[in-house]
Amino acid sequence: MKSSSNKNQSTNQKEDNKKDLLNIVKSFVDYFEAIDKAQGTKVHGQEGEA
């Protein structure tokens, strides 16, 4: 009984780690997209001035 429950715990932990990684990647993507948008507006503004 103990060995089977330990196996279940380890697999659940792996799934949780995968979810955490996915969330981290998603947050990074959102972060970089926000930077791209901010830089894009700056570049367009400079083009308009020049």
Q: pLDDT for 14-30, tens place per residue?
A: 999 999 999 999 999 99
Residue 5 within any structural domain of the chain = no
3-state secondary structure 1-50: CHHHHHHHHHHHHHHHHHHHHHHHHHHHHHHHHHHHHHHHHHHHHHHHHC
Residue 48 within any structural domain of the chain = yes
Give residue 43's domain range. Answer: 21-50
Residue 34 within any structural domain of the chain = yes
Total number of domains in the chain: 1
Question: What pTM value is reported for the model?
Answer: 0.51
Tokens 């367009």 identify what position?
44
pLDDT digit string (tens) for 4-13?
A: 666 777 888 8
